[in-house]
Chain A
Amino acid sequence: MAKRLSGARKRGIVGAIGAAAALALLSGCTSGSTPSDTGAVTGKLEILVSSATASDKAFKEVNTAFMKKYPDVKVEFSAVPNDNFPASRSSRLTAGNVDVTLAAPREMPSYVKNGAVDDDTAAAEAGLFVDLTGQDFLKNFTPSVIDQLKYKGKDYTVPTGLSYYTGVFYNKKIFDDNGLSVPTTWSEFEKVMSTLQGAGVTPLGIGGKDSWPAGLDMIAAVQGLYPTADDKTKLAEDLWKGKADLADGKQLEVMKRVSSLYDVAQKNFAGVGYDAIPSGFASGQFAMTVDGTWNQTTIDSAVKGAFDYGYFPLPVSDTAADNQYLGGKVELRMVAAANGHNKTAALAYLSFFSQPDVYTKFIQTTGFAPAEPNIPASEFLKGIEKYTSTFSPAWDTVWRANPDAGQAAVFPFNYPAISPLGGKSAADAAAEAQSAWKAGL
């Protein structure tokens, strides 16, 4: 299989049709084969993931249990820092020395120009991942989640859990001391911010040095102003078709909201690392922080029960109904590499991972929301169930960046240019993004 693919590449321009043919061939090779009927599970199994303290620990637990069940398998697990992960993964996929790794292929909307295809999608398109369609173990997962992950009607990825990240962790004690309740509209939220400032409390903590945590505020702002999946899809389409202007209307409103959040964040937050936020929140340096549920276990161990804390959707819209759902994504999605040395073990691993008892332990260690039904969620996640009853994909999972556009339009809301991260006002940053975006259309 791998040989056939590289042969195709040597001939030069193969294009989408060739890739699709290769894909069909590939699925012919693998569909219907389950680990039980392809022989013994033995040998080396190479796993590559991007590193995070909690998920590394959880994966290692799974690996140990897996090797206990299949004593003839030696799992070789590499957890690579996020920054190096894309480079490591592509070189190892090229070399064929990885069996299980992470990827998130997404179907290309028709309005997106062809060059904008991201690596994960390009890899799925090129047949680098094993087609898992019809595998029994996928039935363990919540069907609606699996449906979300389909690429061109096929299953390539196994979810590890869900995360939500358009909400705010808040210090209940500070809220109580100042007679505040959970705000449900932007004007209520503004009141909360001004009350806190009046009482000498910094309302918001942001780890701006790493840039992306400040981007969470942007994603949350988009969530409130474009609450449903359809709203976001339409925005993306309008932008790609040149019908929407980043420096106008609701799009400009997003930037203004982000700017007002930055205005009430802790002093010099642009130089503070993301890793300092949990401890800052725990010591009461600020009352709230926009963060993902993935960080809840870290925040919890920093707070150490000193006070109660909660999580609510950032109320960016003036309409309470628009603010009632959290935007989220499916966390780390596992794929089996089509050119790996040990496909049998890879499939056995994915199948083992999906078993409800193994998966429950994984969820408990990582703090992800479960992607399988009837798994007991943590107290914290139960507390936010009312915000997650309808899954709303966060903006960054809907948006497709344009490589031909300028750097200012990557997200495309240009939060890094807003003062104090950059030096611009919301309107100027938006105008810069718009001209960078237009230049690429």
Chain B
Amino acid sequence: MTATTSTPRPAERDAPVAARTALDARRRRLIRPGRIVNYALVVIVVFCYLFPLLFLLNTALKSNADFFANPVGLVTSPQWANFGQAWVQGNFGAYILNSVLYTICAAGLGTAIAVLMGFPVSRGYLRWPRLWNALFVVMLFLPNALITQFQLLLRMGLYNTQLGYILIMAAGVGVGPLLIAGYVKSLPRELDEAAAVDGSGYWRYLITFVIPMAKPAIATVFILQAIGVWNDIILATILLPDPAKSPISLGLYAFQGTYTNDWGLLAAATMIVAAPLVAAYLFLQRYLVGGVVGSVKG
């Protein structure tokens, strides 16, 4: 389908002239309808995702009376005050900071673990490689261990501490070590030996070679785990009873449980939570797709 591009790529210049002309002619015929269909499809996809979100924005700007009178109607007199009220009542500022802390620390630690374990196992530098590979697979689908994790933290004196919560979330590495191990296979092994001959130690090699080279895979692993941490509700409920330590997911959930009657306010609260995320995402997204490239090449 990439054939629909009309500018010839460098590789094509060396193609036999006859073949190229034929190819170009065929393309020119295909370009128009294909492009239109493609754009139509993109519009449909974007619509499926944007419409529900715009509907939420529309709701956020309604007073409760307006909403119940006509939930689908376009907003006529925007209630910007909903946002201020939701912000004050929801205490979202503090929650967002908590969430950022948990997400960066837990996903960061989890990703580090995935690298520190995935690399040597993939290279076969350790005894019992089968055992470690099996461990990586098992990490994918461990049973829900909420009750016992609570008991564990309680006994370790880490209950109701941010550190305890971060450690539990970091240990939920999921697919991470497996992905890193897979990616490392695509890195030339000779590099390890060459670096070692040059006198590089193991740690220095990890930092100066493995991490930069495995960046795409590391980015993927980090993002996948960060999503899980950011969205967690139930572990935070149990492990962090102190409301001052609540992450934003829990704050919003509690807000929703308390203000069930007020859809405009709820929608506004939701938008408040979503806005910084969307902004952060728009800023980071080119790193994201770019970062993921190749992480599954291996």
Contact = CB atoms under 8 A, between A and B. Distances in A.
Touch between chains A and B, by CB atoms below 8 Å: yes
Interface of A: 48, 51-53, 56, 76, 78-84, 87-88, 91-92, 94-95, 97-98, 273-276, 278-280, 282-283, 298
Interface string B140-160: 000000000010001000011
B68 A91 contact: no
B68 A88 contact: no
B120 interface: no
B68 A81 contact: no
Q: What is the predominant secondary structure among interface residues of chain B facing chain A?
A: helix
A276 B68 contact: yes
A1 to B, nearest CB: 18
B238 interface: yes
B256 A81 contact: yes
B77 interface: no
Given A275-B261, A276-B68, A283-B69, A87 B238 contact: yes
Interface in B248-279: 253-254, 256-261, 263
Contacts of A280: 68
A80 to B, nearest CB: 7
A51 B237 contact: no
A11 B67 CA distance: 59
Given A87-B238, A88-B241, A95 B159 contact: yes
B16 interface: no
Given A76-B243, A92-B241, 16 more contacts: A52-B258, A53-B261, A78-B241, A80-B254, A81-B254, A81-B256, A81-B258, A94-B150, A94-B154, A95-B159, A95-B160, A97-B241, A278-B261, A279-B68, A283-B68, A298-B261
21 contacts: A48-B241, A51-B254, A51-B257, A53-B259, A78-B243, A81-B257, A84-B234, A84-B253, A87-B237, A91-B238, A95-B154, A95-B159, A95-B160, A95-B241, A97-B241, A273-B260, A275-B261, A275-B263, A279-B64, A280-B68, A283-B69
Contacts of B254: 51, 79-81
A97 B234 CA distance: 18
Interface residues of B, number: 22
B95 to A, nearest CB: 14
A335 to B, nearest CB: 17
Contacts of A97: 160, 241
Nearest to B154: A95
Contacts of B69: 283
A84 B258 contact: no
A283 B68 CA distance: 9
Contacts of A95: 154, 159-160, 241
Contacts of B243: 76, 78
B258 A51 contact: yes
Given A91-B241, A95-B154, A283-B68, A53 B159 contact: no
Given A53-B261, A78-B243, A298-B261, A84 B237 contact: yes
Contacts of A51: 254, 257-258
Contacts of A98: 241
A76 B244 CA distance: 10
B258 A88 contact: no
A280 B69 CA distance: 9
